[in-house]
Chain A
Amino acid sequence: MAELALTLGPVFFHWSADRLADFYRRIADEAPIDRVHVGEVVCGKRMPFSDSVWPAVIERLERGGKQVVLSTLAAPATVRERLSVEDLCGTERLVEINDVSGLPSRNGKPFVTGPFLNVYNEASAKFLVQLGAQTICPPVELSFAAVGAMALKCPEAQFEIFAFGRLPLALSGRCYHARIHGLHKDACQFTCEKDPDGLPADTLDDQQFLAVNGVQTLSNQVQVFCPAPAALASKRIGRLRLSPQTCNMVEVARIYRQLFDGKEEPEGARFALSCLDLPGTLADGYAYGKPGWQVTAPA
């Protein structure tokens, strides 16, 4: 059986430079993770705050034996944002492409497609493989069965499933943090930094439902998908992606590693994860072809 690997996805939230540096220091030193994505994905306006931390973070992670992937913006719009995508895609390190804008400047060099790039079928996956796609992490709304079917039909790529964290559900040109605070995106005052796991948006009947993070909308629930290693292997899915939240991500990674190593059963892993300080209740509906908010984990 091929080795199963863990990916730490990019941080979606507006964390301070200090918080990012501390977070990745622990990940580098302690987390049993193979691959770590770094960089801003959601909002180009945040980039000046974090740009300075990345060189040291990357060095530390690589010294810790991690493969570093440079993530790129999911919805570049301004000239500065477009240039950042172009610059990152021109580098020799592996990059994560989250918008078609990045494909021309990647120019055949290997890349990862993130969950913001619409890869729904084997023909699209093969098209991207021709351009250099090595790992494909499809949109979160695709089921485990659908990703597995794609993986079996497109053995040229490695497939990755979004397994842990608030689900990235939508992007907009409009900033909802700014809107809630009566501001516009162009003068937003960076109010999103007050919500390091996103700002919960409940329904009128106080049902937990969504969370906003600037221009991004996420689930309030935390995706916790814990497949048995044999189930992953049977579908040729080689990676699970863990998406950073403020809870103890080193512990999250350890739990998934124990699941991979057969030291923990899926149900035990789910229970252990549920005991962490998560920002919402558990969900895994998407993995089973159900509405994303539902909890449907089988035994």
Chain B
Amino acid sequence: MELVCPAGTPATLRAAVQAGADAVYCGFRDETNARNFPGLNFSRDELIEGVRFAHGHGSKVMVAINTFARVDDVDIWKKAADMAVESGADAIIAADFAVLDHVARNHSQVRLHLSVQAAAATPEAIGFYAAHFGVRRVVLPRVLSLQEIAVLNRAIDVETEAFVFGGLCVMIEGRCYLSSFATGKSPNLNGVCSPPEMVSYEDEPDGTAARLSGFTIDRYGPGHPVGYPTLCKGKFKAGGKTTHLFEDPVSLNAGGMISGLKAAGVTALKIEGRQRGKGYVSEVVRAFRKALDAVEHGGDAVDIDRLLAGQSEGARQTAGAYEKKWR
């Protein structure tokens, strides 16, 4: 299996490659990618240099152009795809029909991967993208169980890539407008979710309130670590209860499921986190490299949870939807 790792900056790209990434994925410094944060991402020249470095070390580079093109500005997305191809990228990761169509028509020599933002989860949907755009790999939505992935892989002819570590969307990606509902900015339109400029923390008599766009998403008592108010990990009052209605503040760690994902026919394992620094990326990539090598060589399972104990920000971890009881 291939290990696909995040690169938010040129330094992180080099760190990921040196830590054992088979491939890195990155995006341009604009709204064409789903991690459109200040200080992140690549210019054209940085991408060219990153591709040169990665190829020199036997790694591949995939470029995410995976937001949905804005009406009247589709050319920005098309040009980003052209630039990725000219920079020597090995694959383009896209979700929008317009971007997929452009790459398929003009750059058929480049591998086209279907972004998780397209939320293709059935043989019919995946078959459609393969037939119309020649998609070679599908990044699977994070709502499928291991059993469902195994069944799906038997029914399709393209490769699948599954998230194994990092942030966990509980909503079907690409079909969640919670962020724009609260803040006006969303993953599909702007490449951001629950944007930092809309976050405020306020010390109040009953604790620290974490707010997004004025909506109180969580409240922390004195001495408790304060979390980021991501909408789907917040506390809400519903049905007479106050709970983490959608998901607890957990992150994904499917390190214990690598052999299961392999048995299910998955081609590539993906680590989330283009917004992360190079120290984090190095450590996570190294741990997964070790675990993956052990599985590939039929060796003893590596205790990946122990290796990564320091990288979950104190948050609890979950294997998410890979375990059927998650639903």
Whether A184 contacts B237 by the Cβ 8 Å rule is no
* Bound-state Cα–Cα, A9 to B122, Å: 25
Q: Who on chain B is nearest to A185 by CB?
A: B327
Whether A171 contacts B327 by the Cβ 8 Å rule is no
| Interface size classification for chain A | 35 or more
Contact of A118 among B171, B174, B218 (CB under 8 A): B174
Q: Is B170 an interface residue, CB under 8 A from the partner? A: yes
Q: Is A254 an interface residue, CB under 8 A from the partner? A: no
Contact of A293 among B123, B125, B182 (CB under 8 A): B182
CB distance from B152 to the nearest CB of A (A): 10
Q: Which residues of B contact A100 (CB under 8 A)?
A: 118, 120, 124-125, 128-129
Q: Is B57 an interface residue, CB under 8 A from the partner? A: no
Whether A209 contacts B236 by the Cβ 8 Å rule is yes
Q: Is A174 an interface residue, CB under 8 A from the partner? A: yes
Q: Which residues of A contact B245 (CB under 8 A)?
A: 176, 179-180, 201, 212
Whether A291 contacts B184 by the Cβ 8 Å rule is yes
CB distance from A230 to the nearest CB of B (A): 21
Q: Who on chain A is nearest to B100 by CB?
A: A127
| Interface size classification for chain B | 35 or more
CB distance from B86 to the nearest CB of A (A): 21
Q: Is B272 an interface residue, CB under 8 A from the partner? A: no
Which of A34-42, A145-153, A274-282 binds B? A145-153
Whether B143 contacts A104 by the Cβ 8 Å rule is no
Q: Is A226 an interface residue, CB under 8 A from the partner? A: no
Whether B172 contacts A139 by the Cβ 8 Å rule is no
A153, A176, A206, A212 pick with most chain B CB within 10 angstroms: A176
Q: Who on chain B is nearest to A85 by CB?
A: B124
B123, B176, B177, B324 pick with most chain A CB within 10 angstroms: B177
Q: Who on chain A is nearest to B127 by CB?
A: A104
* Bound-state Cα–Cα, A184 to B246, Å: 13
Given A120-B70, A121-B70, A201 and B237 contact (CB-CB distance below 8 Å): yes
Q: Who on chain A is nearest to B239 by CB?
A: A180
Q: Is A202 an interface residue, CB under 8 A from the partner? A: yes
Q: Is B309 an interface residue, CB under 8 A from the partner? A: no
Whether B177 contacts A120 by the Cβ 8 Å rule is no
Q: Which residues of B contact A169 (CB under 8 A)?
A: 176-178, 181
* Bound-state Cα–Cα, A181 to B119, Å: 27
Q: Is A204 an interface residue, CB under 8 A from the partner? A: yes
Whether A173 contacts B143 by the Cβ 8 Å rule is yes
Q: Is A69 an interface residue, CB under 8 A from the partner? A: no
Whether B143 contacts A120 by the Cβ 8 Å rule is no
Within 8 A of A (CB), among B31-73: 68-73
Whether A103 contacts B128 by the Cβ 8 Å rule is yes
Whether B188 contacts A118 by the Cβ 8 Å rule is yes
Q: Which residues of A contact B170 (CB under 8 A)?
A: 172, 174
A-B contact count (CB 8 A): 207
Q: Which residues of B contact A264 (CB under 8 A)?
A: none
CB distance from A123 to the nearest CB of B (A): 4
Which of A53-61, A74-82, A243-251 binds B? A74-82
Whether A171 contacts B175 by the Cβ 8 Å rule is yes
Within 8 A of A (CB), among B130-182: 131, 141, 143-144, 148, 170-172, 174-178, 180-182
Whether B69 contacts A121 by the Cβ 8 Å rule is yes
Given A77-B148, A124-B96, A291-B184, A180 and B74 contact (CB-CB distance below 8 Å): no
Q: Who on chain A is nearest to B185 by CB?
A: A291
Given A124-B98, A202-B237, A203-B237, A101 and B182 contact (CB-CB distance below 8 Å): no
Q: Is B241 an interface residue, CB under 8 A from the partner? A: yes
B97, B144, B188 pick with most chain A CB within 10 angstroms: B97
* Bound-state Cα–Cα, A101 to B70, Å: 24
Whether A206 contacts B237 by the Cβ 8 Å rule is yes
Whether A184 contacts B327 by the Cβ 8 Å rule is yes
Given A82-B122, A186-B324, A209 and B74 contact (CB-CB distance below 8 Å): no
Whether A127 contacts B128 by the Cβ 8 Å rule is no
CB distance from A107 to the nearest CB of B (A): 11
Whether B172 contacts A77 by the Cβ 8 Å rule is no
Q: Is A167 an interface residue, CB under 8 A from the partner? A: yes
Contact of B327 among A174, A180, A199, A219 (CB under 8 A): A174
Q: Is A175 an interface residue, CB under 8 A from the partner? A: yes
Q: Who on chain A is nearest to B78 by CB?
A: A123
Type the 1/0 row for B311-327, where 1 means its CB is closer than 8 Å to any CB of A.
00000000001001111
Binding site for A on B (CB under 8 A): 68-74, 95-98, 101-102, 118-125, 127-129, 131, 141, 143-144, 148, 170-172, 174-178, 180-184, 186, 188-189, 209, 213-219, 232, 234-239, 241-243, 245-247, 321, 324-327
**Other A-B pairs, 5, CB within 8 Å; known A123-B101, A124-B98, A170-B171:** A99-B125, A100-B128, A119-B97, A291-B184, A291-B213
A-B contact pairs, 20 of them (CB 8 A): A75-B121, A77-B148, A82-B124, A103-B128, A118-B96, A118-B118, A122-B71, A123-B101, A172-B171, A173-B326, A175-B327, A180-B239, A180-B241, A204-B209, A204-B216, A209-B215, A212-B245, A217-B171, A286-B180, A292-B180
Binding site for B on A (CB under 8 A): 74-77, 82, 85-86, 99-105, 116, 118-124, 127-128, 139-142, 146, 149-150, 153, 167, 169-176, 178-181, 184-186, 199-207, 209-210, 212, 217, 219, 285-286, 289-293
